[in-house]
Amino acid sequence: MSIATLAQPVSRSSPLPEPPPPIMTMRGVSKGFGQGITRTEVLSNINLKIRPGEFLAVVGFSGSGKTTFTNLLAGLEMPDEGEVLFEGQPITGPGPERGLVFQNYSLLPWLTVRGNIALSVNRVFSHWPSRKRRDHVEKFINMVGLKHAAHRRPHELSGGMRQRTSLARTLAMKPKVLLLDEPLSALDALTRSVLQDEILRIWREEQQTCLMITNDVDEAIIVADRIVALNPGPRASLGPMFSVELARPRNRTELNHDEYFKGLRNAVTNYLVAVRQKDRDDQAARASQPRFELPELEPIVPSKPSVSVFSRSVSNSGQ
């Protein structure tokens, strides 16, 4: 992307030592859907390295291809070009070591909260004795605070409770990488901040690597170590990486007055707004262009001043 100068936030701490090998890598990944005239290119030339143990946030506008991006990491979709690596090995499909929390929860409506969580536990830890599995399920029901609703079916739950169930189902698989696709977008602000804190607590306790998709810059800054912007599609690519050098735990009310926080928020927001504006301008320019472009013919003229060329061509046509 050729977006010009952006004020990078000033780093407060000294630069990190040589980073460990990435847990997941995307190398030159492109992805589109459909064929022929209906084909849409969604992602193009995505390069990303996810460091083990980090919390990475991806921010982008709706429809820019964020779900496609997570599905590629989860292995639900295969890239058209390039490759996605997990611990150095190309991935061939989805697996329980990369836990995905779906944007629309995708809970099974015929199972209770407990049943939904037990399904994944029984599958991933099928070698455990049943007693241990049951305890494990209960532990995660309690972890997301759904003990009182464990016997309910999804249609009897609020949006936040569904999201917690979906989160618990994935967390209970003990994935090495947790992929969260807009886990909190459908929730109200209060529930949102509560769940942000819970996700952060679990991430710290389980020492997982976490990638969270979000459309909220504040949320990204509060949870993440690094933030990367996804440019608007089609042919979306990744924008610059912002690192968030704020001590944890981060307090929302204090941060609201923090100059560094404000600067970072402005930088990310300005980048997103600018890149979208540019995208719109490009589209407008494309739309106003004539449908049939004239061949680009260079008039062969001897080196003469342009004014005289013009006057000569006028006089030529007049002849």
Partner 1 sequence: MSFRGFLIKVCHVTGLPVLEPFVRLAYGEDPKEQFRGIAKFILVPLLAVGLFLGAWSMAARVVVTDSMKLPGPGETWNAGTQLFAMHFEQRRADAEKQREKARSAIKLYAQAKATEKIAQKSEDPAKQKALQARASVLKRQALDAANYVPSSAPTFVDQIITSLKTVFFGFMVATLIAVPIGILCGMSPWFNAAFNPFIQVFKPVSPLAWLPLAGLVIVWWYSSLQSEPFFSKAFLISAITVSLCSLWPTLVNTTLGVASVDKDYLNVARVLNLSWSQRLFKIILPASLPLMFAGLRISLGVGWMVLIAADMLAQNPGLGKFVWDEFQNGSSLTYARIAFSVIVIGLIGLLLDRFMIFLRNLVSFGNPAAA
User: Would you count residue 70 as binding Mg ion (CB under 5 A)?
Assistant: no
Angstrom distance (rounded) from CA 26 to CA 24: 7
109 binds, among partner 1, Mg ion, ligand ATP, none (CB under 5 to 8 A by kind): partner 1
Angstrom distance (rounded) from CA 92 to CA 104: 24
Nearer to ligand ATP, 54 or 77 (CB): 77
Nearer to partner 1, 127 or 155 (CB): 155
Nearer to ligand ATP, 60 or 99 (CB): 60
Nearest alpha carbon to residue 252 among 159, 304, 190, 176: 190
C-beta neighbour count of 295 within 10 angstroms: 4
Stretch in the footprint of partner 1 (CB under 8 A) among 50-58, 116-124, 183-191, 261-269:
116-124
Shortest separation between residue 101's beta carbon and partner 1, angstroms: 10
* Candidate list 60, 99, 160, 239; residue touching partner 1; CB under 8 A: 99
Residues 6+ apart with CB under 8 A from 141: 113, 114, 117, 147, 150, 168
Q: For residue 81, give the H/E element and its range.
A: strand 81-86
* Candidate list 55, 61, 86, 102; residue touching partner 1; CB under 8 A: 102
Strands 238-243 and 226-230: antiparallel
47 binds, among partner 1, Mg ion, ligand ATP, none (CB under 5 to 8 A by kind): none
User: Would you count residue 220 as binding partner 1 (CB under 8 A)?
Assistant: no
Torsion-angle region of residue 235: left (phi > 0), alpha (psi -120 to 50) or beta? Answer: left
Neighbour order of strands in the sheet with 177-180: 98-101, 177-180, 209-214, 55-60, 226-230, 238-243
Angstrom distance (rounded) from CA 206 to CA 99: 13
Shortest separation between residue 221's beta carbon and ligand ATP, angstroms: 19
State which of positions 17-76 bind partner 1 (CB under 8 A): 74, 76
Both tokens assigned to 231:
């440019």
Nearer to Mg ion, 44 or 67 (CB): 67
Binding stretches for ligand ATP (CB under 6 A): 33-34, 40, 42, 60, 62-68, 103, 233
Residues in touch with Mg ion (CB under 5 A): 66-67, 103
Residues in touch with partner 1 (CB under 8 A): 74, 76, 93-96, 99-100, 102, 104, 106, 108-111, 119-120, 123-124, 153, 155, 173
